Every structure is written in structure tokens, then in C-alpha cells.
Structure 1
């Protein structure tokens, strides 16, 4: 599987890429129909300190693409939140694939 990292106004971080890749690999182990992943790192100007670090994750799988985006105080928390959301979406997709 191919994982692409995109940075918008953020310095590239090898540590964040490794963390995100580990989380995506866990999804891949559970859902083998994932083709590729795009991960977007952005910094958002907000007045709230609890938000501002934005992670967007787009997965290519059979059917429409899956996408999740979250804004948290840290990139690590945003990655976890996005992956949890995608896990729920993948579970629904897998259930639909079994019924057809």
C-alpha cells in the first residue's frame, strides 16, 4: 500500500509520518481492501488553543473514497481522532461489502 504525506504550511516531521504510518498499518491489517492513503498536515489559525493542528486522511478503497479530518491541540491527537473515525467508516463499508 502507498502512503502519501502532504504538508500545508507545516514543516515535515519524520516522527509524525512514522506515527501515522503505524496507525494506517493497523487499519490495513484489519481491512485488507485499502488501496492507498493520503495524509494532510495543516495548521489552522484559531483563537482557541484546543484546536488548530489539522489532520486530514483520505483512503482509497473499493467504492467512494473515505475521508476524515480533525482539528486538535496536537497532531498526535488529531491523527488518533481521524483514524478512529475512519475505522468506523471502514467497518460500515466492510458490512456493506459482505451483504452484496
Structure 2
């Protein structure tokens, strides 16, 4: 699987890339039909201290692309939340693929 990282108003971080890649590899182990992933890190100005660090993850797989976005007080929490959203979407996609 090919993983692309993009940063918007954020300094590139090896630590974030490694963390995201490890979580995505776990998804790939379970769902081998994933072809590619794009991970976007972005800082937003918000009035709430519990948000502002945004992580978007887009997965390419058979059918429409899967997408999850999460905003939290840290990129680590945002990555974890986005991965959880994608797990649910992948489970539904796998169920649909098996029923055909």
C-alpha cells in the first residue's frame, strides 16, 4: 500500500507519519483490498481548546473512496479517531463485497 502525507500549516513530522503508518498497516492486514491512502494534517483556528488539530484520511479501495476526518486537541487523538471511523466503513464495505 502506498501512503502519502500532506501538511497544511503544520511542520512535517516523522513521528506522526510513523504512527499513522503503523495504524494504517493494521488496517491493511485485516482488509487487503486497500490500494492507497492519503493522510492530511492541518491546523485550524478554533474557539475550543479540544479541537484544532485535524487529521483527514482518504483510502482508495474497490468502489468509492473512503474518507474520515477528525479534529482534536492533538494529532495523535485525531489519527486514532479517523482510523476508528475508517474501520467501521471498511467493515461495511467488506460485508457488501462478500454478499455479491
TM-score bracket relative to the smaller structure:
over 0.9
SS at match of 1:78: helix
In structure 2, the gaps of 5 or more residues are: none
2-structure distance, mates of 1:68, 1:86: 6
Counterpart position of 1:72? 72
Moved over 6 A (4+): none
Task: Tell me the distance in 1 between the aligned counterparts of 2:89 and 2:29.
Answer: 15
Q: Which runs of 5+ in 1 are unaligned?
A: none
2:87 is the alignment partner of 1:87: yes
SS in 1 for 2:58: strand
Aligned match of 1:9: 9
1:39 positional shift: 0.1
C-alpha RMSD of matched pairs (Å): 0.3
1:38 is matched with 38
